[in-house]
Each structure stands twice: as C-alpha cells, then as structure tokens.
Amino acid sequence: MQELWKILPSPRHLSVFEAAGRLGSFTAAAQELNVQQPAVSAAIRQLEEAMGVLLFNRTHRKVTLTDAGRRLHVDVTRAFEDVLRSVRQVRQYGRSDHVTLNASSAFAYYWMMPRLQELHHDHPQIDLRLQSSDHEPDIDSENISLAVRRGQGDWPDVHAAKIADEVIFPIASPLVMASARNLRTVPNLLHERLIHLEEPIRERPTWRQWFAHHDVHNREPVAGLRLNDYALVLQAAIAGEGFAFGWQHVTRGLIRQGLLAARPEWAWRTGAGFSLVWSRARPLIPQAAAVRDWIIAQAKVEMEEIARESGAPV
C-alpha cells in the first residue's frame, strides 16, 4: 500500500478516474463529483503522468479508455465495489435499532420460527434478525446482541441464562419407528440405520457416547448417514432416512405435530444445557433486552411443561 501512494499523486485521483471511465465524459464526471471540469482533466493528466501511460483517448465530444485505461478501470471498479460492500456491512454493525440472534440453524428453524408471530405480536417495533453459523461467534467483535450456546453456562465473556437442559433421545419418522425391528432394548437400535451429526467446529455428543451412557460398549454404531448440520439431520429423519439424535427442546414441536416419533424413555441427560448469552462488555439496547426477556420467559414455560409431562417437580 505504501508503494501505491508513492506512485499516485492522490487517492482521490482514482475516484475521478473511475467516474470519468464509467461515464465516458470528463464533464459528466465533474458534475457527479461536484467539481469543475478542469479539475477532472487535471487529475486525469496527473494520474497519466504518474503512471507513464495514456488512460483516455480524447476527442472533441467524448473520451474513451485506452487498453491500459480499461485494464486499470476494471480493477479500480472492482476494488471500489469491495470497499463499498465492506462499508455497508460495517455501517450495519453500528446500527442500534435492530436485534441480532445467533443460533444454530436447527434452533432458528424449529424453536424460534414457530414463536416469531407471537414475538412480533408482543413486540411489533422490534427488528429481529436471525443469524446462523457453524461455530460459536465472538459476540463482541461481531456485534451480536444475543446468541445460543451449548455448555455449562460459565463463559467468562458473557452473561448466560439457561433456556433448556440437554436431553437427547432417539427419533425417527413414525413409519421408520413403527417398522424398526425389535426395539425393546437399547442395543437393538444398533441394527437400525443411524443418522450422524458431524459438525465441523462445534463439539456435539455422538451416537457412540449415547450408547456408552446406556452401557453398550461392545459394538460400534453402524455407518449410516453423516451430515454436518442438525437442521439437515432432522429433515433426513422426517424423510425416513433412519434414526437421529433428538434434542428435546428442538424436536418437541415436531413430535407433537406427528412429523417425528421418539423414545423418550431412552433419554440421556448429559448435564450440559443450552443458554441464551449476551455480552458482559457492553450493555444491551432496550430492544435486545426485551427479546432476551421474552425468550427466557418462553423457555421457562416450556421447561415447566416438560417437567409436568415427565412427572418431575416444577
């Protein structure tokens, strides 16, 4: 970059050059840039002198780019478009009138989406933006209002409120569940086609760990289907591709709708949980605080319903 500024008389000359090349006129470029036409001509002449090559063919009525000028104009235009795209994104980060919720695609699709209408009814003025990623983002550097994380809830960089215990049980389409061979015991599930979640970055429990929790150690789970996104896993299970992990808080609605069947008596309570988190370094704007409180209240209602259904104390 230092070499570039040694060659060019001024960075502004590039913007003058871009406008003149795009419009095919020094006069039109001057009008767009709100300067006098001689200033455009002088800037182009200085740029050509600095580069040692003509950039425009000049006629009485118009100017056209030379071969060298066309080459430079393509690269300058592309660079300006990249800068503009980045500036727009950074400006968006700085806006304070919207709320960003980062979560897995499965949580966004199957936990948040069914509740969005109610959220909009309760808080019609809030601009909520759902964002999914395959990793746990840095909510401060990426200017994320709220996020959902799996773990023990003891992260030093964020406040956390648990919204679900991690409870996992086998799920499948009702047809697959009904046609499974002799599912009276956990080891018999090894005879069925299994759908595996293999996320590239985030650590998630595996079928091997689930079977080990149920004291099945002597056989490896069959290969089955392997997918890198839990939303895809659920779609595969609904389509009848086999048995998948059913995270209780995500699959509960699908089970109620009859899209999936489950074996909740084989549940594995891992001791981990899913938490809604927000930054310790900066305060939440009022809109984000309202969404936080709304999600926590929704999760509390669901956890109480699950406790009543299971007969556990509320």
Q: Is 94's pLDDT higher than 80?
A: no
Q: Is 107's pLDDT higher than 80?
A: yes
Mean pLDDT along residues 44-56: 93
CATH of domain 2-94: 1.10.10.10
Asked if residues 193 and 225 have their Cβ atoms less than 8 Å apart, the reply is yes
Give the number of other CB atoms < 10 A from CB of residue 89: 9
User: Which residue has 């109480």 as its token pair?
Assistant: 304
Top-confidence range, 10-14, 91-95, 288-292: 288-292
Q: Is 84's pLDDT higher than 90?
A: no
Domain boundaries, the chain: 2-94, 98-314
Least trusted range by pLDDT, from 20-29, 83-92, 233-242: 83-92
Q: What is the pLDDT of residue 314?
A: 46
Q: 164 by DSSP, 3-state: which?
A: strand
Mean pLDDT along residues 180-198: 90
Classify strands 63-65 and 98-103 as parallel, antiparallel or unpaired.
unpaired
Residues near 63 by Cβ (< 8 Å), separated by ≥ 6?
20, 24, 25, 26, 56, 57
Q: For 246-285, what is each residue's pLDDT tens digit?
A: 999 999 999 999 999 999 999 999 999 999 999 999 899 9
Closest CA to 29 of 42, 45, 14, 40: 40
Which residues are bridge partners to 225 per DSSP? 195
Axis crossing angle, helix 26-33 with helix 37-51, rounded to the nearest 10? 110
Classify strands 225-227 and 195-197 as parallel, antiparallel or unpaired.
parallel
Q: For 3-15, what is each residue's pLDDT tens digit?
A: 777 778 788 999 9
Residues near 178 by Cβ (< 8 Å), separated by ≥ 6?
261
Least trusted range by pLDDT, from 63-72, 141-150, 218-227, 236-245: 218-227
Asked if residues 200 and 134 have their Cβ atoms less than 8 Å apart, the reply is yes
CA 273 to each of CA 87, 145, 165, 231: distance values in angstroms, whole numbers, following the listed order:
37, 20, 4, 19
DSSP state of 110: I
Q: Locate all alpha helices (DSSP H) within 53-137, ordered by sequence.
A: 67-94, 105-107, 116-122
Q: Is 91's pLDDT higher than 70?
A: no
- The second-level CATH assignment, the architecture, of 98-314 is 3-Layer(aba) Sandwich (3.40)
Instruction: Considering only residues 44 and 217, tell me which one the structure prediction assigns the higher pLDDT.
Output: 44
Give the number of other CB atoms < 10 A from CB of residue 56: 23
* pTM exceeding 0.75: no
